[in-house]
Copies of this chain bind each other. A is one copy, B any other.
Amino acid sequence: MQIPKGLQPMVPSTADALAAERSKAQFSVADMHRFIVDEDTRTKTAKVEKVLASEPELFNVRREYFMSRKEKLDHALQIGTRLIELMREGKLASDEIVIADNILDINGPYGLHRAMFIPTLQNQATPEQQELFLKPALNYEILGCYAQTEIGHGSNVQGLETTCTYIPETDEFEVHTPNIRACKWWVGSLGITSTHAMVMAQLIVNGKNFGPNPVVVPIRSTKDHTPLSGVTVGDIGPKFGFNTMDNGFLMLDHVRVPRINLMQRYINVSREGKVSRPANVDPKVAYGTMVFVRTQIVRGMSQTLAKATTIALRYTSVRRQFAGKSDKPLAKNVESPVLDYGMVQYRLIPLLAQNYAMFATSQAFALHYEECMREMNNGNFGPLKELHATACGLKRWTSDVAIHGIDTCRHVCGGHGFSQFSGLNEFFGNAYPNIIWEGDNYVLSQQTSRFLVTQVRHLRKGKPVADNQTTQYLRKHLVDGRLAEVPAPAFVGRSIESLAADPEAQLDLLSYRAAVMASELADQMDEHGQSWNRSLVAMQRLCDAHSDYIVASYFRRHLATLPASSPLLPVLNKIAALLFLYVLEQHSSDLFRLPGRAAFTNAQVNRIEELLATIIEEVREQAIPLVDAFGLSDLRLNSALGRSDGKVYEDYLKWAMEDPLNSDDTGKAIRKEWFEKYYKPVMHGAEASKKAAKL
């Protein structure tokens, strides 16, 4: 199938439109890229993209959108197997494979072996166990997964029902699935791939339950991959996304494993059935791992959202619709780019600002995390609680913004956003679980809010609290943990313009909002008897208010690493001011509800909306250079709409023509078959029966 010859060129061309946007850049895109993306990511991404480019046939994700589930798994296995080979050939490091997965947006069947099986062995196995399991795992001689979630148990890990019972007679554990609800479910890399499962099970010794503990259970033969005796295992079926991953289920029917298979770094079961816990290991270290995974999500969400904003902003700046309706009408009958319309800007530009804040925040937060880890490695676990609370809030904030942001980007692309070739749909499905896993975002907010309310309670009771950025703002804005008229917060009485130009005042206002909400929630719970359950809605809001402050504060911290003369700062300061005003505008109800003189008036909120609209228009002018600075390759975007050369419609049409249904060989055969089977009886059947009736 070919594009007919003799078509006229499109005037104005989409490629020229994108080039014109680029020419407006008021800063160096390369410098901005170096500022916004951390060095490690930049270097490794460049290296990996070079490796992928050297085998374009294999690493061709353009075909992905046409594939069935089976073909996707096959393709992911092919790619995953080759990546392991490349590692063995010394061309890629293990963590670079993860970057390759991200670039290709393919979460393949070896993923959880690397992400969960190996780290659990590294953290929870004794040296003897590491020799036994970790070494072959690192060599991919065994393939593992981490089987925690059960079909009936997700958030409540303590409620898991799979059992691991010590059998002193044979010096073994018997791992068992007592009922359907205890069937392991969702476990990545389990459906087809794993030979070994790290099974979280209730450890029972001498009839006593010691809670969930991980135990290694061989489930498939390493010789021929068939399931072992007593093991019922399979793929859980198709999902909204992640269809390149073999999430699996597992039921164990009284399966016996040697005693050595129970991870024994934090707990030990002796030959005689004595259970002990080593004295020299603080279990809070494991807690740190959970925080680490969340910091990784925060970082990943920047890249995730960047893909969507890059596609949507490039496309809306070349897509034209209606002449003379924007505020900048072009020559007669030349339609305006849809990005010139106020509503499109309002949906995309604040999202772009959030995206910049996410990149900056993830870098500044990573530094804070490393600091805390150093403290903890020195035995000071003081920073852990605040770190954990903030990480929960940030995980929620960034994944909520990213996932709903992708949805906004799709919708703003109109009908074409609905095509797989937009690059926004398969990708949306793959990114979606980030709001669910590692703590569902709604559940997670309770962690952050509980911490905040607890600090307020301590302040009220005069109990000591650790010194950190959270308690600092609570101390600043509350008097003995309570709201007071004096001192009035510093932002009171200032114009919106002056607030938008003053980072300190912005942080003052954002932290004041959070402090007020924390204090009011403490009042409700402690003085008006509001139950935990009735407080959950307020907890969501408090968590978000805290995170709004934290994001703004880390954003500013990262900006502060630039010299005051940096040519990047004018646009970055504008973006930070935009984000601040957007938070206020989105939560104007909170501003009206601030106590006493701090409460905002109608006139102030109107002014926020006006100033926000103005700054949105200004940042819109730099939108394409700003997304270019994310540095995402066309391979990664995998999108007709977001192509860096702006040749949107040409590529979109070409891609459609590549659909197997349209091809001259197999496509023709399918269409012929359907004509004979369906269309012909429908069309000729009526005629035939009509003719028959006439005879």
Contact = CB atoms under 8 A, between A and B. Distances in A.
A70 B179 contact: no
A57 to B, nearest CB: 16
A414 B154 contact: yes
Contacts of A251: 3-4
A23 interface: no
B78 A181 contact: no
Contacts of A684: 141
A451 interface: no
A453 to B, nearest CB: 16
A322 B436 contact: no
A580 interface: no
B3 A180 contact: yes
A9 interface: yes
Interface in A220-245: 222, 224-225, 232, 234-242
A124 B277 CA distance: 83
Contacts of A602: 592-593
Contacts of A535: 342
A533 interface: yes
A540 B342 CA distance: 11
A299 B574 CA distance: 45
B68 A675 contact: no
Interface residues of A, number: 147
B677 A77 contact: yes
Contacts of A672: 225
Given A142-B683, A152-B10, A653-B249, A662 B537 contact: no
A683 B221 CA distance: 11
Contact of A232 (B4, B346, B420): B4
A6 B65 CA distance: 43
A458 interface: no
Interface in A537-574: 537, 540
A649 B346 contact: no
Interface stretch (A186-194, A284-292, A303-311, A465-473): A186-194
A679 interface: yes
A210 interface: no
A302 to B, nearest CB: 22
A322 B155 contact: yes
A156 interface: yes
Interface string A157-193: 0010000000000000000011111010110000111
Contact of A8 (B68, B178, B682): B178
Contacts of A679: 143, 193, 225
A321 interface: yes
Contacts of A421: 237
A513 B678 CA distance: 55
Contact of A6 (B237, B253, B609, B683): B253
B686 A88 contact: yes
Contact of A140 (B78, B179, B683): B683
A687 B139 contact: yes
Contacts of A222: 683
A8 B6 CA distance: 72
B253 A4 contact: yes
A7 interface: yes
Contacts of A180: 3, 7, 10, 649-650, 653
Nearest to A248: B656
B325 A533 contact: yes
Nearest to A249: B656
A378 interface: no
A192 B335 contact: no
Nearest to A150: B649
A660 interface: yes
Interface string A590-631: 001100000000100100010001000000000000000000
Given A536-B343, A682-B81, A154 B674 contact: no
A43 interface: no
A513 to B, nearest CB: 14
Contact of A7 (B177, B533, B687): B177
A206 B655 CA distance: 38
A10 B681 CA distance: 51
26 contacts: A4-B177, A7-B179, A7-B180, A8-B178, A9-B179, A81-B681, A88-B689, A110-B682, A141-B686, A153-B321, A159-B323, A180-B650, A183-B653, A192-B661, A224-B675, A235-B661, A236-B419, A236-B659, A237-B420, A237-B659, A239-B419, A239-B420, A239-B425, A240-B418, A418-B436, A592-B593
